[in-house]
Amino acid sequence: MDIKILGPGCSRCASLEKEVINALAEMDVTADVKKVKDIQEIMSYKIMSTPALVVNGKVKVAGKVPKREEIKRYIKEELA
Amino acid sequence: MFILRLINDQLLKMQWLSELVRSLTENVFGLDISTRLGGSIHFFVYDIIKIFILLTVLIYLVSYIQSYFPPERTRAILGRFRGITGNALGALLGTITPFCSCSSIPLFIGFTSAGLPLGVTFSFLLSSPFVDLASMVLLASIFNWKIAIVYVVVGVVLAIIGGTIISKMKLEQYVAPFVFHQEVSEFEEGTVMTRRERMTYAWDQVTDIVKRIWVYIVIGVAIGAAIHNWIPAELISTLLGQDKWYSVLLATAIGIPMYADIFGALPIAEALVYKGVGVGTVLAFMMAVTAISPPSLIMLNQVVKSKLMAVFVSVVIVGIIIIGYILNGFNTLLI
């Protein structure tokens, strides 16, 4: 699984990354988690607010830090 | 009128809380609040509790309204207007669209690539960090409604004028070229939130924002308490007194490098007004703290050249200083 966290490096991006890593650990799923800070690459996902969570190339959420349960749901969607 | 005054004094200014904290300070700590230490403790405890209560309620309400205006929709609305109407609408929508400095770049690109005039985008970027409903109600709580309304009006006017100047100067060439070619998604009207989702969203915003800014508030209140009781009034009036021609300049210069939320700047402003500093000087300080935040400028600099940044920053600073002097002229009417 390929997970990207989009954000120019604000505190909310850091908390999203932490939540994703915790969610993955609790679900016992391995994934390649990458932080994307380059603005052009971030914009290539056509979002208008950060942080954003991208799982397997699909934008799951933008502009907020979702709850851990919500993150797990997005991961599950991609596992199925 | 009695009912209105009761609501204003008890709900907004929370006089019951002031009384409660006073009796706590006097009976539990055994300190008279007219003493320095007692006064500081009273200011600190009362202000922190008051700001957090108001903040929670206000952010909840504001976020609920904001859930109707995601950035995509704001952009769609703004795309229909040109000229000064666009700037005015940009400034007004800036006050209600959810925004955090970490989103300023994607938002800037999203607006610009959709063909919005640069000036309209800047009107939006200008008004969104420092004019919003929450700060208006807090100003009304700490000072009065006159000051609150004046703050919002001058803030919106500054955003409109600033954006218009940027439009007139034709600065598009100073924006990184890729910004204009970036594809962005259209707003999908299909994704309508339910009432429950809006409530969850609003509550999430409350916890998220409080988590992010509580430190600024505690620091702000602590500085406010120190100004209130420990710094001699003569020192403050020498530096920022109304009779000093340089007071607004100095307040703006102190405010610019400070990076704090408006809610952290408010208790400092409160203490300064009690010490007799002019309303214009204090509001100039608050605007300088919130409107120009170094982290947000550094990020914005990735997509616009320094010349455009310089124009933007100078317009804001000059605007704040002018507002400060004008409001100081009306000081007696406002307090």
pLDDT digits (tens, 9 = 90+) for B210-240: 887 888 899 999 999 998 888 887 888 888 8
**Closest approach of chain A CAs to the CA of B26, in angstroms?**
40
Chain A stretch 30-59, residues whose beta carbon is closer than 8 A to a beta carbon of chain B: 39-40, 42-43, 46-51
d(CA A68, CA A49): 20
Architecture per CATH, domain A2-79, reads as: 3-Layer(aba) Sandwich (3.40)
By C-alpha distance, which of B253, B283, B288 is closest to B269? B283
**Closest approach of chain B CAs to the CA of A40, in angstroms?**
8
Q: Pick the residue with more confidence: B80 or B302?
A: B80
A43 contacts on B by Cβ (under 8 Å): 106, 109-110, 182, 184
Q: How confident is the model at residue B250 (pLDDT cuts 50, 70, 90)?
A: very high
- What residues does B172 pair with on adjacent strands? none
A11 contacts on B by Cβ (under 8 Å): 102, 212
* Residue spans per domain, chain A: 2-79
**pLDDT value, residue B304:** 87
**pLDDT value, residue B184:** 67
Q: How confident is the model at residue B4 (pLDDT cuts 50, 70, 90)?
A: confident
**pLDDT value, residue B237:** 81
Active site residues of A: 10, 13
**pLDDT value, residue B93:** 87
Measured from the Cβ of residue A52, the count of other Cβ atoms closer than 10 Å reads 24
By Cβ distance, the residue of A8, A48, A64 closest to B204 is A64
Choose, out of B100, B108, B215, the residue to mutate when testing the contact with A (most A CBs < 10 Å).
B100
% of chain B at pLDDT higher than 90: 19
Say if residues B107 and A48 touch (Cβ distance below 8 Å): yes
pLDDT in tens, B7-26: 888 888 888 888 888 888 88
Which residues touch B228 (CB under 8 Å, ≥6 apart)? B39, B40, B43, B271, B274, B275
**pLDDT value, residue A56:** 93
**pLDDT value, residue B172:** 86
Q: How confident is the model at residue B187 (pLDDT cuts 50, 70, 90)?
A: low
A18 contacts on B by Cβ (under 8 Å): none
Angle at CA of residue B295, ends A48 and B288, nearest 5°: 105
d(CA B56, CA B73): 26
Among B128-137, B144-153, B201-210, the range of highest mean pLDDT: B144-153
Q: Pick the residue with more confidence: B188 or B244?
A: B244
**pLDDT value, residue B188:** 56
3-state secondary structure of A59: strand
Evaluate the CA torsion angle B245, B248, B249, B253 in order and state its sign: positive
**pLDDT value, residue B55:** 87
**pLDDT value, residue B100:** 63
User: Scanning every residue of chain B, which has its alpha carbon at the shortest distance from the alpha carbon of A65?
Assistant: B208
A51 upstream amide cis, omega within 30 of 0: yes
pLDDT of B186 > 70? The answer is no
pLDDT in tens, B84-122: 899 999 998 888 765 666 677 788 888 888 888 999 999
Q: Do A50 and B103 touch (CB under 8 A)?
A: yes
**pLDDT value, residue B159:** 92
**pLDDT value, residue B191:** 60
By Cβ distance, the residue of A39, A50, A67 closest to B303 is A39
**pLDDT value, residue B234:** 80
CB contacts < 8 A, A to B, total: 64
Over chain A (80 residues), the average pLDDT of each successive run of 10 is: 86 87 93 89 84 91 86 90
